[in-house]
Amino acid sequence: MKVCPRKIRKDFKDLQLRQPKRHLFSVPLITYKNALISFPTFVEKDQVNYLRAAITTMSQPHFLLVASPAQGHINPTLQFAKHLIRIGARVTFITCISARSRMTKVPTAQGLTFLPFSDGYDYGFQLRDDIDHYLSELRRRGKEAISEFLTSSENEGKPVTCIVYSPFNHWATEVARKHHIPTALLWIQPATVFDIYYFYFNGYESTIKAQADETNPKRSIKLPGLPLLATRDLPSFVTALNVYRWGPLLIQEQMDILADESNPKILVNTFDALEQEALNAIENFNMIGIGPLIPSSFLNSSDSLDNSLRTDLFQPDSKDYLQWLDSKPKSAVVYVSFGSITVLTKQQVEEIARALISSRRPFLW
Q: Is the pTM of this model over 0.85?
A: no
What is the b/e burial string over 127-137, where b = at least 16 CB atoms within 10 angstroms of the residue's CB?
A: eeeeeeebbee
Residue 169: the pLDDT is 96
Residue 81: the pLDDT is 93
193 and 276 Cβ atoms separated by less than 8 Å: no
| β pairing state of 16-19 and 22-26 | antiparallel
Alpha-helical regions (H) of the chain: 35-38, 48-54, 71-86, 97-102, 131-155, 172-178, 191-200, 205-211, 246-260, 272-279, 318-326, 346-359
Positions marked active-site? 73
pLDDT tens, per residue, the chain with 365 residues: 333 333 332 332 333 333 333 333 333 332 333 333 333 333 334 443 444 444 444 568 999 999 998 888 898 999 999 999 988 999 999 999 988 777 767 777 889 999 999 988 877 777 677 889 989 999 999 999 999 999 999 999 999 999 999 999 999 999 999 999 999 999 999 999 999 999 999 999 988 988 876 667 778 899 999 999 988 889 989 988 788 889 999 999 999 999 999 889 999 999 999 999 999 999 889 899 999 998 776 665 566 666 556 666 566 666 678 888 889 998 899 999 887 667 678 888 899 999 999 999 999 88
Side-chain-facing half-sphere of 158: CA atoms under 13 Å: 13
Residue 104: the pLDDT is 67
242 and 248 Cβ atoms separated by less than 8 Å: yes
* All domains in the chain, ordered by first residue: 16-299 (3.40.50.2000), 318-364 (no CATH)
> What is the residue-wise DSSP string for 99-111?
HHHH-SS----TT
Residue 345: the pLDDT is 80
> In this structure, is the dihedral angle defined by the CA atoms of residues 170, 171, 176 and 178, taken in order, positive or negative?
positive
Residue 195: the pLDDT is 98
Residue 127: the pLDDT is 64
Residue 124: the pLDDT is 77
Residue 91: the pLDDT is 96
Residue 7: the pLDDT is 31
Residue 55: the pLDDT is 41
Residue 123: the pLDDT is 79
